[in-house]
Amino acid sequence: MATIRGYFVGCSYAFLWYGSILLGFYFLYAPLLPLLFLNRRLYRLCTDTLYSSWEAFNVSLLQAVYGVKLVLTGDDLHNEHALIVLNHPTRTDWNFLWQGLFHAGPNHNAKIILKEQLRKIPGMGWVMAMSRFIYLKRTWASDASILDSMLDYFNIIRKEGGKQLVLFPEGTNITASSKTRSDAYAAKNNKPAYEYVLHPRTTGFVHLSRGMMDKNLLDAVYDVTIAYPGTKPQSEVTLLSGDMPEQVNIHFVRHPLSSLPSTYIGLEKWLEERWRDKELALNSFYTKNTTFPALSHSQLQPRPVTVLQPLCLAGCSIFLAWSIHLLFTSWLALSWVVVVTMVMVGLESWAGGVQEMEIKLERDGLTPSSPVTPQEGEEDFEHLKHE
């Protein structure tokens, strides 16, 4: 009986989660595509607003419907140009990170850095591309170019507000095989073996940090730690079986730009030190049942549902019901879905992608400017590129 209940919980959440994304794409996001050619500033405003609304819906689902408590400690998330780095214990961390982002900084505009394979998921991959998330191919030559291109674009639209880029420096979640690789790297480089984190891959972090610094797009780096005191959802499959965490603990530490090293080597060592501290904090969290440092006693209590969250749940639920009814009763709606799908497959497969088209259109609309020349005395970065 418990197994049946577990699958009901997991599958119902998956239906609401993916269904809201898929239907939201077809009936809310897709109609905005013409704005790419008419008014890209409005296009960005609308897609960011839609994404924030969906994030609020997902967080409200987890908290109010499925009972996932959030204990959020540390600093608030400011609406500024920032880089967020966090550990990656499970494949589903990004889904529960949204809870922390929502409550730590209600006005945030976070862009998660993801693997390219997720872009191919209908609806979900397209929504994130239209919302300017960053997809990496996991080959450094390509990824460096992608990161530079996105930073150039964020620099062009900087007047529209700060962006917070979310990076998982470990590159993958903790599994038996990834931990073996991490331990082998530690032994080879005379570093300590970790139990609760993987050794971070510094190349992407350093390149991204320096790129953001050079373009004046970095006000702070947020060191975020996520932990699960009870059930730990290891993958999407375990979530489907009902392994929903009872509680998620997330800790934010803000490091202002003035406190960060500016050299490549300094940034590399800085990240390694943060991960060493993270290992100690997680060891204490799991073995001694301690909490992350709180700025006030109230931070140790689960975050309450905000006044607007029930309204968000009601509004999104009505939209979901309306969309499903429309699909079953209108051949025009079905035809729209088919046409939009063909357009998106075409854009993603043969036209370079909707995100790339957005960037190209924006750049083509600019007055040509002088190329940026490298600064004198720039340090050699080759040892990091071949990590």
Q: In order of start, what are the domains of the chain with their CATH numbers?
A: 2-301 (3.40.1130)
Query: Please, which residues have CB within 8 angstroms of residue 146's CB and are 6 or more apart in sequence?
Result: 134, 135, 136, 137
In one-letter notation, the amino acid at residue 261 is P
Burial (CB count within 10 angstroms: exposed 0-12, middle 13-18, buried 19+), residue 331:
exposed
Q: How far apart are CA 372 and CA 343, in angstroms?
A: 36
Tell me phi and psi for residue 216, to 5 degrees. 55, 40
Query: Please, which residues have CB within 8 angstroms of residue 108's CB and are 6 or more apart in sequence?
Result: 77, 79, 101, 164
- The answer to whether the predicted template modeling score (pTM) of the entire model surpasses 0.85 is yes
What would the DSSP string read from start to end of 69-138? EEEEEEPPPPSSSEEEEE--SSTTHHHHHHHHHHHH-TT--EEEEEEGGGGGSTTHHHHHHHTT-EEE-S
pLDDT of residue 380: 39
Q: How far apart are CA 266 and CA 272, in angstroms?
A: 10
Q: Is 189 helix (H, G, I), strand (E, B) or coil?
A: coil
Neighbours of 227 (CB within 10 A): 22
Cβ atoms of 114 and 170 closer than 8 Å: no
Q: How far apart are CA 156 and CA 359, in angstroms?
A: 10
Write out pLDDT tens, residues 182-210: 999 999 999 999 999 999 999 999 999 99
DSSP state letter for 44: H
Q: How far apart are CA 167 and CA 84, in angstroms?
A: 6
Query: Please, which residues have CB within 8 angstroms of residue 306's CB and are 6 or more apart in sequence?
Result: none
pLDDT of residue 367: 53
Low-confidence ranges of the chain (pLDDT < 70): 367-387
Q: How far apart are CA 224 and CA 251, in angstroms?
A: 5
Beta strands in the chain (DSSP E): 69-74, 82-86, 110-115, 134-136, 164-167, 220-227, 247-256
In one-letter notation, the amino acid at residue 385 is K
